[in-house]
Amino acid sequence: MRAGGATRTPDEDAGTARLDGRVERGNRTRRLVLRRAVDIASVEGLEALTVGRLATELRLSKSGVFALFGSKQELQLATVREAARIYTEKVIRPAAEVPPGVGRLWRLCELWLEYSRGRVFPGGCFFYGVIAEFDARSGPVHDAMVGAQRDWMALVERTVTEAQDAGELRTDTDIPQLAFEIVALMETANAVSVLHDEETAYRRARIGIAARLRGAATDPSTAPQVP
């Protein structure tokens, strides 16, 4: 209905339907492009992304792909955002379903290790590789990676703090240090596994994290055990 009660004409309805159809097709194409982009970037880095390559591999028009992003830098930034969305779905949200405490912290670690081991991204952890690519650079992509790394460390520290507040970790636990060691073990497992194409490192990481949590737990018997 128009203002005043007037109805829309058939031509107007058809025009709206065409517009909605174009928007949905554009959204589908964008999702398709970004899914391929995160896979490429996880193996070869963000600099390997080009509009021409993505268009050729996905059999799309180069102009159509370019219109979705406008520049290589925006393509890179959109790829980082898409990787963060997938990472949130695979790691962060499922861990949040566990009540605060050592159980949630352990679940977060196991989800991360499975995210790497299961090759959600073919190159292992997307952020581990891209941070190494951009850590010594400057610019918007570097800043995006800084933000992603800080957010992740803040989440791990917050999860450790919750476990301490729940009375499950000792009050003298050095929260930033424990979080740093946990992340270091997980990232080392990712790097070693990708380099050697083997999975032993994930078990070593789980053993190391479990031991560190038992050492910090108020009741070591309630801390995770790795069979």
Asked whether the CA dihedral 165, 169, 174, 175 is positive or negative, the reply is negative
Helices (H) and strands (E) in the chain, counts: 10, 0
| pLDDT greater than 60 at residue 1 | no
3-class DSSP state of 67: helix
Q: Are 172 and 76 in contact (CB under 8 A)?
A: no
What are the sequence ranges of the domains in the chain? 71-222
* pTM to 2 decimal places: 0.86
pLDDT at 222: 86
Q: Are 73 and 141 in contact (CB under 8 A)?
A: yes
Which of 21-25, 46-50, 164-168, 222-226 has the weakest average pLDDT?
Answer: 21-25
- Give the separation between CA 38 and CA 86, rounded to whole angstroms: 10
pLDDT tens digits for 59-109? 999 999 999 999 999 999 999 999 999 999 999 999 999 999 999 999 999
Bridge partner list, 217: 169
pLDDT tens digits for 102-141? 999 999 999 999 999 999 999 999 999 999 999 999 999 9
Class of domain 71-222: mainly alpha
Q: Are 141 and 135 in contact (CB under 8 A)?
A: no
pLDDT at 127: 96
Q: Are 221 and 201 in contact (CB under 8 A)?
A: no
Mean pLDDT of 4-10: 62
Query: Sorting pLDDT into bands at 50, 70 and 90, what band is 151?
Result: very high
